[in-house]
């Protein structure tokens, strides 16, 4: 069993820990958390997941096989300055921070095995879609450990570091776009007279069914869309409205803005 220390105890750290603990991939007691100042948050995490809290002397950092960097990009430099003196040379670092380059982490923690990854909050239920890139210090054993951790919370794809900005825009932020779509569908359904409860159930099942169709049939989304669209029917009418409003262009702008912001955050960190 490995000792893993989470530096940052916010929503992303919790999503990953929840996924790991629920799947029993690690001995919960050997997962440690620390943050900047919010002790109530650490108590909550310990009570909820049975994990441990890093003591004020930072002893757990000495024994850590891996640290997971999960602060906001603007806070990572200070966090690294605080933890670096306590770390062992062999300790590997896995960052989940949007934008922050591997180089910045090498500067903050010294040359050591470092991976930069981008999971998403569906890690909570073991359904993250994560991307990962690693530095030259990562050997096969260490790579397996990084991949194993991310696999315990969903699927993981190795990409070039440069491509992590696009991964961040697509699957890191992606759950929020889907929730926003659900909000919009729900509001439209309520406007048409459906109750919120019924609308939500129908929407969730529709999303779940469509995602499962993509997964299980292996069909292209275009084919599946065409299968739904009867000539002159309701779907065609709905899709025409989306096209008139430049739906694909709007989505392209969404991804472009998010990708650009990831680059900006990287430059800020
Ligand atoms: N939320 C998401 O969907 C995703 C987020 N990410 C990335 O994960 C990272 C964290 O995001 P999120 O969990 O939402 O952020 P939160 O604001 O919820 O959590 C940030 C955490 O960092 C801690 N922190 C700040 N400074 C330090 C420090 N010097 N030492 C130790 N801990 C510190 C904070 O502690 P305190 O509360 O005490 O100040 C807090 O626990 C971000 O970089 C984000 O880009 C990646 C994928 C998805
Ligand atoms: O919004 C953010 O910056 C983070 C990164 C991906 C998802 N949440």
How do residues 54-66 score in pLDDT, each as one tens digit? 999 999 999 999 9
d(CA 89, CA 190): 58
Q: Widest CA span of the chain, in angstroms?
A: 70
ipTM of the complex: 0.98
Q: How far is the CA of 248 from the centre of ligand 1 (A)?
A: 32
User: Would you say 41 and 11 are in contact if contact means Cβ atoms under 8 Å apart?
Assistant: no
Contacts with 177 (C-beta within 8 Å, 6 or more apart), sequence order:
254
Residue 245 has pLDDT above 80, yes or no: yes
Nearest CA to ligand 1 atom 27: 36
How far is ligand 1, taken at its centre, from the CA of residue 12, in Å?
7
> What are the structural domains, with CATH classification, of the chain?
4-160 (3.40.50.720), 174-266 (1.10.3730.10)
Ligand nearest to the CA of 98: 1
Task: Inform me whether the pLDDT recorded for 25 exceeds 80.
Answer: no
CA 172 to ligand 2: nearest atom: 6
Q: Whose CA is nearest to atom 17 of ligand 1?
A: 10
Indicate which atom in ligand 2 lies nearest the CA of residue 261: 3
| Ligand 2 pocket, CB under 6 A | 98, 168, 172-173
| Tens digit of each residue's pLDDT (9 = 90 or more) over 128-138 | 999 999 999 99
Q: Cα separation of 160 and 163, whole Å?
A: 5
What is the C-alpha separation between 119 and 19, in angstroms, rounded?
12
Determine the atom of ligand 1 nearest the C-alpha atom of 13. Answer: 13
Tokens 């989304």 correspond to what residue? 221
% of residues, the chain, pLDDT over 90: 96
The answer to whether 30 and 9 are in contact (CB under 8 A) is no
For residues 234-259, give the mean pLDDT: 98
Q: What does the pLDDT read at residue 66?
A: 97
Judged against a pLDDT cut of 90, whether residue 11 lies above it is answered with yes
Q: Whose CA is nearest to atom 5 of ligand 2?
A: 98
Could you give the CA distance from residue 252 to residue 170 in angstroms, rounded to a whole number? 10
């Amino acid at each position: 069993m490995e000792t893993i220390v989470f530096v940052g105890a916010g929503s992303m750290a919790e999503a990953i820990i929840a996924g790991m603990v629920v799947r029993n991939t690690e001995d919960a007691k050997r997962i440690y958390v620390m943050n900047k100042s919010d002790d109530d948050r650490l108590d909550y995490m310990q009570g909820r997941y049975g994990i441990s809290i890093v003591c004020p002397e930072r002893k757990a950092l000495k024994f850590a096989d891996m640290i997971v960097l999960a602060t906001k990009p603007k806070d990572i430099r200070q966090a690294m300055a605080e933890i670096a003196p306590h770390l062992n040379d062999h300790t590997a670092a896995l960052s989940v921070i949007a934008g922050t380059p591997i180089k910045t982490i090498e500067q903050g923690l010294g040359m050591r095995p470092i991976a930069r990854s981008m999971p998403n909050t569906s890690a909570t239920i073991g359904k993250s879609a994560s991307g990962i890139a690693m530095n030259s210090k990562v050997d096969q054993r260490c790579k397996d450990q990084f991949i194993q951790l991310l696999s315990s919370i969903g699927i993981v794809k190795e990409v070039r570091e440069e491509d992590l900005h696009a991964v961040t825009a697509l699957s890191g932020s992606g759950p929020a776009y889907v929730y926003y779509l659900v909000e919009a569908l729900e509001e439209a359904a309520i406007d048409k007279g459906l109750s919120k409860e019924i609308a939500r159930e129908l929407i969730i099942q529709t999303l779940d069914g469509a995602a499962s169709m993509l997964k299980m049939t292996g069909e292209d989304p275009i084919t599946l869309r065409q299968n739904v669209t009867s000539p002159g029917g309701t779907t065609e009418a709905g899709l025409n409205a989306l096209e008139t409003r430049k739906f694909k262009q709007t989505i392209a702008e969404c991804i472009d803005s998010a990708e650009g912001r990831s680059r900006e955050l990287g430059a800020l960190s």
